[in-house]
Amino acid sequence: MLTNATSEHGRQLPSDPELAEIFVSGRKHLDELLRHAPTRKEVLARFDKYALDLWAGLHGVYDVAETWLKVVELIAQACLDRPAHLADRDRSRISQPDWFQSPEALGYVAYADQFAGTLQGVASHLDYLGELGVTYLHLMPLLQPRAGENDGGYAVADFRAVREDLGTIDDLAKLADALHQSDISLTLDLVLNHVADQHEWALKARNGEPHYRDYFLMFAEHSIPDAYEKNLPEVFPDFAPGNFTWDETAHCWVWTTFNSWQWDLNWANPDVFYEFINIFSFLANKGVDCFRLDALAFLWKREDTSCQNQPEVHFITQALRAAMRIIAPAVIFQAEAIVAPTELVAYLGVGEHAGKVSDLAYHNSLMVQVWSALASGDAQLMAQALHRSESIPSTTSWVTYLRCHDDIGWAIDDFDAAQVGLNANDYRNYLSSFYSGDLQGSQARGAHFQSHPSTGDRRTSGSAASLAGIQAALENGDESLLVLAIDRLMCGYSMVVGYGGLPLIYMGDEIGLLNDPSYLENPDHANDNRWLHRPKMNWEFAGQRHDPTTLPGRIFPRILELIQARKRLPALHASITCNVVVMPNPAVIAFIRRHPEGNLIEFYNVSGTAQTMPTSSISSLTGPNATVVLNSAALSLASPTITFEPYAVWWLTAEL
């Protein structure tokens, strides 16, 4: 444990004299290993800053006395391997550590093949990304997956190779360079929880090599899996029920939280930690700027729990984060933890981990609340739920999004629902029925994903445009429904862009791409309807984006206007808290962002009907001299009432 004793570098040392000696010997060892490195001084300075975070992270999980020097050696090697141009990038990022928090930051998420065929193809579309104002590109899984079904690339067979049809690892490094020259950072998935059953570690474990069997969680008898299974939820109850898979060759049960061919790793084994330090470094040294830590919540298993969100997950993340801060300060982490609203903030760090784990985390709760409010036309639940995520470390940021490649799980908290007079179960059911289009009056065209037999929970697949009602309006040839559906989509996107944090545009949403049922023709995709909303980019459609008579031409310019408004507003810096307030009329919600350079007050009518309110309820938030910064309609604070048209969005700046 750490005490107040101070080291020669001004930080706290372990109190146990033996441990303190080991800790200090780490620095000497690093100094020695880096003696010829041009970056030696910088790395040592970073080590002095982050070594205690690294130590505490390791200490929370492993025998730190045994792991310390080994980890220091891996860090030294990674620093020696870091190319000079990336060391330059490290220096410039150190001088602008809030680059991902800035209102200028805008993310775009795409599958390389669906967007542009290959990695080289992606490089040929940088003008399109530039036109949108993208500064951050998340390319969906592109490392070598298993053959056959591979969960959209989340069953990785080789972390050091690129999927053959997309290019090579050199192409990846070249693409990273090209992106950097266009001021775009590159995000890649790093799946920490599992590897493909065809990964060399799994093959060796299956063949009985004890060293590699310890990389996995394998059980000869079913009694231990049975004990765990009592408390484990099922992620894919439809096509991968249960959490363990019998492997005939290994002659044991293997822990497989997701699909039977995705083998969970044993993070209690420090060898797994060492492997990942090497994998992170390898990819960072190719130019990756951000790692999306896939399925992070599941890393640590503990009997009598759901084996999600265990404290060790945060210690492991802290240790990995500190190591990367020493090796490659240009690099950040984005946590993928789609967990209950009460567990979310921990992924950006609370208590001893504040600011020491991931820099970014998906705001799953915001996404759910936006769709929920757009369905019910009532913002009270949203306001209730968002209070939980108001406070995060000021050096971190939410990633905000309306759609992603996954289904929507209706994460409505029971307590929040009760506070606004709803029964959470019934309401979750309502949302999944609404978005599948089962409910009368719903214009949504989604599909049920993974109906859970015992809980009755159902998740939802579908593209943003189809869920917002654009598909139904087009099918019915109904122009007034189409106007409403586009406004609904824009209202949702405006909340995502205006909440604060790093907003992500999911490929195709900017031109209104609809559900794509062609996945049914691919046997590797057919039983997973998340492919419904993973379409190919339609470049012909994108070519119509400046023609206002076309669907893309009715959406793209509005998305652009939103992004450009955001980039001009200092109040959208992610370090500023967003306060959420329901107006006297519960269909209208206000997002309030107070900033020394001027406050930003945003109003959203989440319903499909016009809402009239006393003007005083607006001016009490904005003051008398507000300026409209987003919305074409003029706003007069002089008249006694004000009307918000269906799905109206109003952003106002106000003097302090």
CB of 292 to ligand GLC, least distance (A): 8
Contact segment (CB under 6 A) with ligand GLC among 147-155, 268-276, 438-446, 452-460 equals 147-155
Please state, in angstroms and rounded to a whole number, the distance separating the CA atoms of residues 124 and 141.
Answer: 19
Residue 460, class by beta-carbon neighbours within 10 Å (0-12 exposed, 13-18 middle, 19+ buried)?
buried
CB of 257 to ligand GLC, least distance (A): 8
Specify the length of the chain in residues.
656
Q: Does 188 bind ligand GLC (CB under 6 A)?
A: no
CB of 279 to ligand GLC, least distance (A): 16
Side chain identity, residue 264? D
For residues 308 and 611, which CB has a smaller minimum distance to ligand GLC in the complex? 308
CB distance 589 to 581 below 8 Å: yes
DSSP 572-591: G-TTSPEEEEE-SSTTEEEE
Which residue among 56, 105, 295, 569 contacts ligand GLC (CB under 6 A)? 295
For residues 150 and 515, which CB has a smaller minimum distance to ligand GLC in the complex? 150
CB of 351 to ligand GLC, least distance (A): 26
Q: Does 151 bind ligand GLC (CB under 6 A)?
A: yes
Residue 594, class by beta-carbon neighbours within 10 Å (0-12 exposed, 13-18 middle, 19+ buried)?
middle
Nearest Cα residue to 165 out of 191, 189, 142? 142
CB of 86 to ligand GLC, least distance (A): 27
For residues 325 and 405, which CB has a smaller minimum distance to ligand GLC in the complex? 405
Please state, in angstroms and rounded to a whole number, the distance separating the CA atoms of residues 450 and 447.
Answer: 10
| CA-to-CA separations, 294 to 119, 126, 419, in angstroms, rounded | 21, 26, 33
Nearest Cα residue to 627 out of 653, 604, 649? 653
Tokens of 124: 């040929």
Per-residue binding string, ligand GLC, 246-265, x by CB under 6 A, is: ------------x-------
Q: Does 140 bind ligand GLC (CB under 6 A)?
A: no
Half-sphere exposure of 495 (CA within 13 A, CB side): 33
Q: Does 152 bind ligand GLC (CB under 6 A)?
A: yes
Q: Does 294 bind ligand GLC (CB under 6 A)?
A: yes
Tokens of 524: 């590797």
Please state, in angstroms and rounded to a whole number, the distance separating the CA atoms of residues 634 and 176.
Answer: 44
Q: Does 613 bind ligand GLC (CB under 6 A)?
A: no
Q: Does 136 bind ligand GLC (CB under 6 A)?
A: no
CB of 53 to ligand GLC, least distance (A): 26
- Annotated catalytic, 238? no
Which residue among 406, 414, 457, 561 contacts ligand GLC (CB under 6 A)? 406
For residues 188 and 565, which CB has a smaller minimum distance to ligand GLC in the complex? 188
Residue nearest ligand GLC (C-beta atom) = 154
Give 444's strand partners: none
- Annotated catalytic, 294? yes
Out of 90, 113, 247, 294, which one is annotated catalytic? 294
Give CA 521 to chain center in angstroms.
29
CB of 43 to ligand GLC, least distance (A): 33
Tokens of 377: 């036309």
Q: Report the 10 Å Cβ neighbour count for 6.
A: 10
| CA-to-CA separations, 120 to 116, 179, 188, 321, 568, in angstroms, rounded | 8, 11, 16, 30, 32
Which residue among 175, 191, 284, 346 contacts ligand GLC (CB under 6 A)? 191
Residue 77 is classified by DSSP as H
- In the sheet that 252-255 helps form, which strands lie side by side, from edge to edge? 218-219, 252-255, 244-247
For residues 533 and 573, which CB has a smaller minimum distance to ligand GLC in the complex? 533
For residues 247 and 264, which CB has a smaller minimum distance to ligand GLC in the complex? 264
Side chain identity, residue 543? G
- At a CB cut-off of 8 Å and minimum separation 6, what does 424 contact? 412, 413, 414, 416, 417, 418
CB of 382 to ligand GLC, least distance (A): 24
Per-residue binding string, ligand GLC, 328-347, x by CB under 6 A, is: --------x-----------
For residues 190 and 374, which CB has a smaller minimum distance to ligand GLC in the complex? 190
Please state, in angstroms and rounded to a whole number, the distance separating the CA atoms of residues 267 and 261.
Answer: 18
Out of 149, 336, 509, 602, which one is annotated catalytic? 336
CB distance 370 to 509 below 8 Å: no
- Strand 641-644 and strand 611-614: the pairing is antiparallel
Per rule CB under 6 A, count of chain residues that contact ligand GLC: 10
CB of 416 to ligand GLC, least distance (A): 23
Q: Does 240 bind ligand GLC (CB under 6 A)?
A: no
For residues 90 and 294, which CB has a smaller minimum distance to ligand GLC in the complex? 294
For residues 152 and 287, which CB has a smaller minimum distance to ligand GLC in the complex? 152
For residues 26 and 409, which CB has a smaller minimum distance to ligand GLC in the complex? 409
Q: Does 300 bind ligand GLC (CB under 6 A)?
A: no
Q: Does 402 bind ligand GLC (CB under 6 A)?
A: no
- Strand 332-335 and strand 360-362: the pairing is parallel
Contact segment (CB under 6 A) with ligand GLC among 100-108, 151-159, 440-448, 627-635 equals 151-159
Contact segment (CB under 6 A) with ligand GLC among 149-157, 214-222, 276-284, 622-630 equals 149-157
Please state, in angstroms and rounded to a whole number, the distance separating the CA atoms of residues 616 and 596.
Answer: 24
CB of 285 to ligand GLC, least distance (A): 24
Q: Does 524 bind ligand GLC (CB under 6 A)?
A: no
Please state, in angstroms and rounded to a whole number, the distance separating the CA atoms of residues 65 and 68.
Answer: 6
For ligand GLC, the binding residues (CB under 6 A) are 151-152, 154, 191, 258, 294-295, 336, 405-406
Would you please indicate which residues are annotated as catalytic (active-site) residues? 294, 336
